[in-house]
């Protein structure tokens, strides 16, 4: 139930309602590289991740791909097709081994019929999704890549552990190529932007992680300190 309480769609519900919802979820596991669903598939389930990371992307018939989100522990996805009864609008692929909990469409609609507060939570969740999409489009259109990358890293650091020293370690469970797709840039440009952040002493790169100066990243991102 603690996991459900952190999910955007369910977090504002009462403990009693969360308990009723949690009873309808079922555990689901996927291996690294496995596709959870493809674009055009029926939207039969929504998912909340317990462990691992999933890439959400759209692809053309020519093979071009755009990753628009990578979701991790506590994140919810797959709700759009579940809500409107349409097909999947994107594909979901496991970047790591995944442990998730799924909710089947009929079970969700039964909960929504019996618990009116869930409908209000759905509206609030979809409004947040629209705001997030608007913010991402604004960032891609109006801000240099270094600022977009700094903002991405600030968001990734939120909720993470505080470092005992000046820099906070951050493990990114995906490649520079995947990061480039998320930020609407090429891989060489992402590498150059990482170099610029390193030159500004906002990050230090290691083989498997970044060591981040939260205050400097926030200043480059033009945000308050994370």
Residue pLDDT, tens place only, 181-198: 778 788 899 999 999 999
Q: Look up residue 87 and give its DSSP letter.
A: B
By C-alpha distance, which of 56, 46, 162, 142 is closest to 101?
46
Percent of the chain with pLDDT over 70: 89
Residue with tokens 């009693």: 16
Report whether pLDDT(176) > 70.
Answer: yes
Structure tokens at 25: 């979820």
Which of the residue ranges 102-106, 125-129, 141-145 has the most confident prediction, judged by mean pLDDT?
102-106
Mean pLDDT of the chain: 84
Residue 1 has a pLDDT of: 66
Q: Are 61 and 50 in contact (CB under 8 A)?
A: no
Structure tokens at 64: 């071009």
If one compares 68 and 10, the residue with the highest pLDDT of the two is 10
Q: Are 168 and 214 in contact (CB under 8 A)?
A: yes
Query: What pTM was estimated for this model as a whole?
Result: 0.67
- What number of helices (H) and strands (E) belong to the chain? 9, 11
**Cβ neighbours of residue 121 under 8 Å, at least 6 residues apart?**
9, 10, 12, 13
Residue 226 has a pLDDT of: 46
> Mean pLDDT over residues 151-168, rounded?
71
Could you list the beta-strand ranges (E) of the chain.
26-30, 35-37, 45-51, 54-59, 65-71, 76-77, 91-94, 98-104, 168-170, 203-205, 210-212
Residue 63 has a pLDDT of: 62
Grouping H, G, I as helix, E, B as strand and the rest as coil, residue 225 is coil
**Cβ neighbours of residue 22 under 8 Å, at least 6 residues apart?**
1, 4
């Amino acid at each position: 139930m603690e996991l459900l309480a952190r999910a955007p769609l369910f977090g504002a519900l009462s403990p009693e309602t969360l308990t009723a919802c949690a009873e309808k979820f079922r555990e689901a596991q996927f291996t690294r590289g496995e596709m959870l669903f493809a674009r055009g598939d029926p939207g039969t389930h929504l998912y909340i991740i317990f462990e691992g990371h999933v890439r959400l992307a759209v692809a053309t018939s020519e093979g071009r791909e755009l990753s628009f989100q990578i979701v991790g522990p506590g994140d919810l996805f797959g709700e759009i097709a579940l809500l409107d009864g349409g097909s999947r609008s994107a594909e979901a692929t496991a970047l790591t081994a995944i442990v998730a909990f799924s909710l089947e469409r009929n079970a969700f609609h039964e909960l929504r019929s019996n618990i009116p507060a869930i409908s209000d939570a759905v509206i609030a969740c979809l409004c947040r999704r629209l705001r997030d999409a608007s913010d991402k489009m604004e960032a891609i259109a109006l801000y240099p890549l270094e600022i977009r990358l700094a903002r991405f890293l600030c968001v990734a650091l939120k909720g993470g552990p505080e470092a005992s020293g000046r820099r906070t370690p951050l493990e990114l469970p995906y490649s520079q190529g995947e990061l480039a797709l998320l930020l609407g840039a090429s891989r060489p440009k992402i590498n150059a932007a990482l170099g610029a952040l390193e030159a500004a002493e906002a990050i230090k790169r290691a083989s498997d992680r970044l060591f981040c100066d939260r205050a400097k990243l926030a200043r480059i991102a033009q945000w308050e300190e994370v």
